[in-house]
Amino acid sequence: MTVKIKAMKRLLRLASTTILVGVVATALIACSGSSRVRKPSELAAVTNQFDMQQVWSTSVGSSEGFNFHPIVAGDAVYAASHRGNLAKIDLATGNKVWEASVPERLSIGPGSDGRTTVAVSTRGTVYAYDDTGKQIWKVSVSSEVLSEPIVAGGVVIVRALDNRFIGLDAQTGVRKWIYQRQQSALSLRVGYGMLAIGNEVIVTGFAGGRFGMIAIANGGLVWETPVSFPKGFSEIERLNDVTAKPSMEGDIICAVSYQGRIGCGQARTGNLLWFKDYSSYTGTSQSTEMVFSANEKSHVTAFATKDGTQVWENTQLTFRDLGEPLAVGKVLLMGDAQGYVHAFAQANGEMVARIRHDSNKISAAPIAVGGLILIQSQGGKITAYSPK
């Protein structure tokens, strides 16, 4: 087995500069000698302490192996599928206001400010549509794009896999700026989440355990902070990219890296208040007093945002492949690979409710808006629930 591990590491050194998280995980599991390690835990019975009543439901088509997120802008939901279906959905009723058929398969999207809606093809072409569903421009960025685009401040921000951030004019598609990051020797081939703060800046993670703030108007780097540092001897051991979208509550911003650390700091400067050893590629969500995350084992943990003290840990959902978290009200919501949505009490981590959205994986974070909870599975089903 030692020979096999050494051979695998040599191949990875010669491989492309990017790798799939799933490929790495699968390879490591195979070398562990037992596929049973990843067997999902059985679901324990839960007495729902509140109901999630369906208000409306619709479908936009499957995302297949890609990670599509719905976007809310104004009074509408925007969603897309891998086959090129792009839709504007009325938030109140679930009726489709318009649908557009993008002429290529999509790798990510949509991004929208309610006026311009964009999605990116697997060939790296950005397609833009106005608020009637009419295509207004298309631009090639000459690279694969797996990160959800941002539309804010009249700019479309696209993050390519070759470490370029590209700012395009939202009305014309003309390039306004470009910010180039240095290519890492080895990084994760995944979408790196971007968090827009108003129409001024975005916060996003980088390879090598760092995250930073970028100005929307000109692409300038405002600040950059390490949350963790590579450690170990092999390329796999040293991977610690901040791939998930950072979270923000008040003036506190938090981020987590894969095989690295979780930490929170001041949004204005990026200065960290604390950090703890932790590993996650599904990100963080915050309440006023705590930050929540799930590690690769799907163990959910709550930390105090002021000093990083662990408040609780829930291990009931081991290896159920939990998706991105959402802290809302007094609960924490997370979907899993079998289409269940789990609700934890923020105060103590107790599981207080569960629903079955559908049978497809839920990787995107639920969205809380206007008293509704929106959930989209990778099968393309989007449902608005009303918590009662």
Task: Centre a 10 Å sphere on the Cβ of residue 252 and count the other Cβ atoms it contains.
Answer: 18
Query: 16 and 113 in one domain?
Result: no
Query: 140 and 88 in one domain?
Result: yes
Query: 73 and 30 in one domain?
Result: no
- The amino acid that residue 31 corresponds to is C
Query: 118 and 80 in one domain?
Result: yes
Establish if 13 belongs to a structural domain: yes
Query: 118 and 28 in one domain?
Result: no
What pTM does this model have? 0.88
| H, E, C per residue of 315-384 | CCCCCCCCCCCEEECCEEEEECCCCEEEEEECCCCCEEEEEECCCCCCCCCCEEECCEEEEECCCCEEEE
Q: What length does the chain have?
A: 388
Please report, for the domain that includes residue 130, its CATH number.
2.40.128.630
Please identify, among 166, 190, 214, the residue that sits at the C-terminal boundary of a domain. 190
Please identify, among 129, 163, 190, the residue that sits at the C-terminal boundary of a domain. 190
Its domain, for residue 20, covers 1-39
Q: State the Cα–Cα distance between residues 226 and 137, nearest whole angstrom.
A: 37
Query: 148 and 82 in one domain?
Result: yes
Structural contact between residues 148 and 194, judged by C-beta atoms closer than 8 angstroms: yes
CA distances in angstroms from 59 to 21, 39, 106, 382, listed in the order given: 27, 30, 16, 6
Please identify, among 190, 208, 241, the residue that sits at the C-terminal boundary of a domain. 190
DSSP state of 283: -
Identify the sign of the CA torsion 12, 17, 23, 25: positive
Query: 84 and 28 in one domain?
Result: no
Establish if 94 belongs to a structural domain: yes
Query: 186 and 88 in one domain?
Result: yes
Query: 174 and 80 in one domain?
Result: yes
Query: 74 and 34 in one domain?
Result: no
Establish if 364 belongs to a structural domain: no
Spell out the alpha helix ranges (H) of the chain.
Answer: 2-14, 21-31, 235-238
Establish if 89 belongs to a structural domain: yes
Query: 114 and 22 in one domain?
Result: no
Can you tell me which residue has the tokens 């449902």?
A: 383
Using 50 as the pLDDT threshold, list the residues of the chain that sit under it: 1-35
Establish if 312 belongs to a structural domain: no
Structural contact between residues 129 and 117, judged by C-beta atoms closer than 8 angstroms: yes
Establish if 185 belongs to a structural domain: yes
Structural contact between residues 122 and 105, judged by C-beta atoms closer than 8 angstroms: yes
pLDDT in tens, 317-372: 999 999 999 999 999 999 999 999 999 999 999 999 999 999 999 999 999 999 99
Query: 72 and 8 in one domain?
Result: no
Q: Per the structure, how many domains does the chain have? A: 2
Establish if 165 belongs to a structural domain: yes
Establish if 363 belongs to a structural domain: no
Q: Percent of the chain beyond pLDDT 70?
A: 86
